[in-house]
């Protein structure tokens, strides 16, 4: 579990929930620093979501696991619609905020510790570019096989992802080239979150193209059934269990 001084994301969420706002900084291991969209996005009501997010909600069915639930905006919406939802995040303070906002089942669990102890799910959602939480293609394959075991026969994953090849930023392109030189795919990265005096541990993040996602899914029992494309940086994949 994250220690309090490591829970930068959680402090950002908790402060915003209590009426205090400040910038979230994303730092990459090559020294590149950027500002995130800010904490307000984690509290956006359904009517103000991006159109692709609202469209993706139509594909949710049954019992839901929300991976990287943040402040709980997706979980709370689905709970209001009658779904049995379990929201998980590795941030203790984010989970505390989810509970204060009314999410009935919110737990401090990182993606790597998902197990059958949570029960069986019909839909796994990974919004907020959370396909990136897989970190590396190798870990993605291992975890996708695990997800196959904790989902029903009609199991489905709804994942937001970002294609790294849409950029023309020379700093990003150089980072991609360095990755390829090390035998990695272009969109692998190591980042940490900074907020005020708090800094998360370094962690791996994964940006993938559609082709790379489909390659990762091979041999895991999952297949993309459709994409929801957008004119923003992020797209959504509807991933279903492969029929025997």
Please write the tens of the pLDDT for every residue from 215-239.
999 999 999 999 999 988 899 999 9
Please write the tens of the pLDDT for every residue from 172-189.
999 999 999 999 999 999
Is position 131 within any domain?
A: yes
Taking the C-alpha atoms of residue 237 and residue 181, their distance in angstroms, rounded to an integer, is: 28
Taking the C-alpha atoms of residue 132 and residue 208, their distance in angstroms, rounded to an integer, is: 8
Q: Are 72 and 101 in contact (CB under 8 A)?
A: yes
Q: What is the CATH number of the domain that holds 13?
A: 3.40.50.150
Structure tokens given for 110: 């990182």
Q: Tell me the torsion sign for CA atoms 51, 187, 194, 32.
A: negative
Is position 45 within any domain?
A: no
Please write the tens of the pLDDT for every residue from 189-212.
999 999 999 999 999 999 999 999
Mean pLDDT across 134-142: 98
Backbone angles phi, psi at 173, to 5 degrees: -65, -35
In the predicted model, is pLDDT for residue 164 greater than 80? yes
E strand intervals along the chain? 25-28, 33-35, 64-67, 85-89, 106-108, 121-126, 151-162, 188-195, 198-199, 203-206, 222-228, 234-241
Is position 11 within any domain?
A: yes
| Beta-bridge partner residues of 36 | none
Mean pLDDT across 136-165: 98
Backbone angles phi, psi at 116, to 5 degrees: -65, -15
Is position 40 within any domain?
A: no
pLDDT of residue 41: 93
Taking the C-alpha atoms of residue 186 and residue 165, their distance in angstroms, rounded to an integer, is: 8
What is the domain extent for residue 212?
A: 4-17+28-33+59-241
Mean pLDDT across 125-141: 97
Q: Is 80 exposed, middle or buried (0-12, 13-18, 19+ CB in 10 A)?
A: exposed
Taking the C-alpha atoms of residue 231 and residue 233, their distance in angstroms, rounded to an integer, is: 7
Confidence of residue 244 (pLDDT cuts 50, 70, 90): confident
Confidence of residue 81 (pLDDT cuts 50, 70, 90): very high
The chain-wide mean pLDDT, for the chain, equals: 96
pLDDT of residue 232: 82
Query: What is the tally of helices (H) and strands (E) in the chain?
Result: 7, 12
Is position 99 within any domain?
A: yes
Structure tokens given for 102: 């009314």
**Count of domains observed in the chain:** 1
Is position 144 within any domain?
A: yes
- DSSP-based three-state secondary structure for 174: helix
- HSE (side-chain half, CA atoms, 13 Å) at 54: 8
pLDDT of residue 243: 85
pLDDT of residue 210: 98
Is position 212 within any domain?
A: yes
Confidence of residue 22 (pLDDT cuts 50, 70, 90): confident
Q: Are 194 and 210 in contact (CB under 8 A)?
A: no
Is position 41 within any domain?
A: no
């Amino acid at each position: 579990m994250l220690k309090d001084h490591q829970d930068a994301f959680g402090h950002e969420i908790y402060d915003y929930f209590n009426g205090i706002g400040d910038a979230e900084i994303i730092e990459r291991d090559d020294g590149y620093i950027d500002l995130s969209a800010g904490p307000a996005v984690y509290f956006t009501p359904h009517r103000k979501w991006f159109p692709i997010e609202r469209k993706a909600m139509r594909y949710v069915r049954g019992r839901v696991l929300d991976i990287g639930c943040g402040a709980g905006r997706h979980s709370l919406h689905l709970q209001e619609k009658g779904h049995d939802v379990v929201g998980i995040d590795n941030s203790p303070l984010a989970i505390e905020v989810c509970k204060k906002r009314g999410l009935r089942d919110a737990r401090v669990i990182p993606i790597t510790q998902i197990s059958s102890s949570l029960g069986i799910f019909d839909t796994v959602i990974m919004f907020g570019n959370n396909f990136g939480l897989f970190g590396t293609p190798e870990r993605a394959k291992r975890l996708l096989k695990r997800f196959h075991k904790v989902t029903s026969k009609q199991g489905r994953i709804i994942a937001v992802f970002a294609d790294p090849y849409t950029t023309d930023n020379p700093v990003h392109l150089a980072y991609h080239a360095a990755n390829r030189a090390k035998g990695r795919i272009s969109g692998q990265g190591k980042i940490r979150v900074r907020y005020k005096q708090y800094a998360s541990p370094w962690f791996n993040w994964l940006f993938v193209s559609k082709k790379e996602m489909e390659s990762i899914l091979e041999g895991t029992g999952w297949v993309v059934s459709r994409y929801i494309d957008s004119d923003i940086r992020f797209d959504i994949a509807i991933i279903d269990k492969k029929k025997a």
